[in-house]
Amino acid sequence: MTEDLLYRQAAAYIEEIPKFTRKHPLSHTRKCLELLGHPEKAFRILHVAGTNGKGSTCAFLDSILRCAGYRCGLFTSPHLILLEERFLLDGRKVGRGAFLQAFEKVREVSRQMEEAGEGHPTYFEFLFLMGMLVFRQAGMEIVILETGLGGRLDATTAPEDPMLCVITSVSLDHMQYLGDTVEEIAGEKAGIMVKGVPVIFDGNDARVRGVMEKKAAELDCPARCVTREEARVIEYTEKNITFRAWPGEKEYTVPFVAEYQVMNALLAIRAAEQLSGVLSIPEEAVQEGIRSARWKGRMEQILPSVFVDGAHNEDGIRQFIATAARMGKDHRLLLVFSAVSDKDYPAMIREMTEALCLSFVVTTQVGEGRAVPAEELAEQFRERGCSAVTARSCPAEAFRLALSRREPGDILFCVGSLYLVGEILRLPEVCGSAL
């Protein structure tokens, strides 16, 4: 049987997992780790939680550590195209052979857990366990773990001795799981803190800052609150943003056009400063790590004047709007939009139509069972005064239609869901681009 066929069978098995299991307590994940020989003890761990920006912050941290000479593993979610994207080894996705080896070991442990009456790991738990094996096998020195939902009960919280915790911006999202207020959600994110372990957190929201400071004090965690006032943008270009961070007025360049990446980079810089007490991270590595970081699908330019952004909740859309408004001062703006049903898409559409002058909008649908019909989204835009709106159920067709309507100088944005970003990145005219 070919490796490609084995991979497709493994991926199919993993995609079926949500249909026959349920979420388990952390003790379940820790039991699985024990049966796997405690792979999480083979490396040092940085743990990152938050509502928005955690993936980008992980990417900045990963790049900094690799520039400092460390072998670094990165576990993130979701993937945009292939499952292997969730496991990066020194910046490259895991090979099929290592993926399959880890899959077989975790599947065997899953069988043992089922036979013992303790239940099969969930989709996310299964992938997390695979990641721990992949990183041990590859000899990673440091592994960065991005939480899935929340933090307190997340599978990535099962390892009990991280060297640092980082919490990015917190806002209302996944409220059916995490709570109805920002404070409640912040409490779930703060659940990754471990007694005595330093924590770096986004303190721009006073409500969140209060929760983080209280939890850090309870656990005697050295805490560093980071706010956007610590950075001053000094230059925007078509490809990056340069800013200065105080104290010391050190200068950094982020290779993205979205201003929200400045805050994510700043969190990674403060994390690197904290880590420099136990790791060797020269300032040159921090600057080069920020400059050379890559993170797909977050205000990423995929074709000339065409950007995809994974903004998929109200806070993410506000951050997208800030960038689009700045870039659209002298350009017409076109939009491809889609959302899933458990997001507040009417609010997302309201904010975009109030803040941006959209010359042409194509709505589409993604997310299978959670999909919002393209025509329903289109009607939301029409009700908000957008007349040049059309609906296409197929994302590829929607994207190509929007491309065909561009005129010289126009900018096209594709936003609303990471599912949409993944669909567009699969298209041959995109993945074959020189950008």
- Helix, strand and coil in the chain, % to nearest 5: 45, 20, 35
pLDDT tens sequence across 74-95? 999 988 989 999 999 999 999 9
Domains and CATH numbers, the chain: 3-292 (3.40.1190.10), 300-431 (3.90.190.20)
Query: Three-state secondary structure along 240-262?
Result: CEEEEECCCCEEEEECCCCCHHH
Residue 47 CA, distance from chain mean position: 13
Q: Which region holds residue 302: left if phi is over 0, alpha if psi is between -120 and 50, else beta?
A: alpha
pLDDT tens sequence across 287-346? 999 999 998 888 899 999 999 998 878 888 988 999 999 888 889 999 999 998 888 899
Residue 264, pLDDT score:
96
Residue 435, pLDDT score:
58
Residue 128, pLDDT score:
98
Residue 52 is classified by DSSP as: B
Tokens of 19: 């249909």
Whole-number Å distance between alpha carbons of 371 and 412: 22
Tell me which residues of the chain have a pLDDT lower than 50: 174-175
Q: What is the dihedral of CA 199, 186, 312, 203, to 10 degrees?
A: -50
Lookup result for tokens 């000899």 = 139
Residue 178, pLDDT score:
62
Among 135, 143, 145, 126, residue whose Cα is nearest residue 192: 145
CB atoms within 10 A of CB 214: 13
Within 16-163, strands assigned E span 44-49, 72-75, 87-89, 92-93, 142-146
Tokens of 182: 């920002």
State pTM to two decimals: 0.91
* Amino acid occupying residue 67: C
Residue 343, pLDDT score:
85
Q: Spell out the residues 6+ positions from residue 120 whose beta carbon is closer than 8 angstroms to its own.
A: 17, 20, 21, 110, 113, 114, 126
Cβ–Cβ under 8 Å, residues 31 and 129: no
Q: Which region holds residue 229: left if phi is over 0, alpha if psi is between -120 and 50, else beta?
A: alpha
Residue 307, pLDDT score:
94
Cβ–Cβ under 8 Å, residues 151 and 190: yes
Question: Would strands 142-146 and 72-75 be described as parallel, antiparallel, or unpaired?
Answer: parallel
Lookup result for tokens 């090979």 = 95
